[in-house]
Amino acid sequence: MDRTSQASKKVNLDKFFYKIGEVSSMAKVEPYVLRYWESEFPFLKPKKNKAGQRVYTKKNIELVIAIKNLLYKEKYTIAGVKKKFSQDSLKKNTVPIETVDRIKKRLKDILKTLK
């Protein structure tokens, strides 16, 4: 079993948030690497708690592992990873305008019913 699948298994813990040290251990990268990736990849932005510490969600951790795989295993460059994620997000985030309009109308109807 490779490190990535081990890291993926650890993500399935019952916590909602993970500190940078925990994510660093799961992904087998140093914390400074995670901070650098945050500066390079705008889609990787963990929230910060009241103390100013980064708190990663499961989705953030999945992104970290995906970035690591692309950079270290598939030998992508930073620019290549950015391009790949922008292409993937365009494919995933496309919703027909008709669907959006239908949802808006339905929500307005619900709001009227509640009043």
Is residue 41 included in any domain, yes or no? yes
Is residue 7 included in any domain, yes or no? yes
Is residue 96 included in any domain, yes or no? no
Q: Which one-letter amino acid corresponds to residue 104?
A: K
> pTM for the whole thing?
0.65
Is residue 86 included in any domain, yes or no? no
Is residue 46 included in any domain, yes or no? yes
Total domain count for the chain?
A: 1
CATH number at residue 22: 1.10.1660.10
Over residues 5-34, the pLDDT tens digits come to: 444 444 555 688 999 999 999 999 999 999
State residue 92's pLDDT score: 59
Is residue 47 included in any domain, yes or no? yes
Q: Please name the residues in contact with 49: beta carbons below 8 A apart, sequence gap of 6 or more.
A: 17, 55
Domain that holds residue 67: 3-78
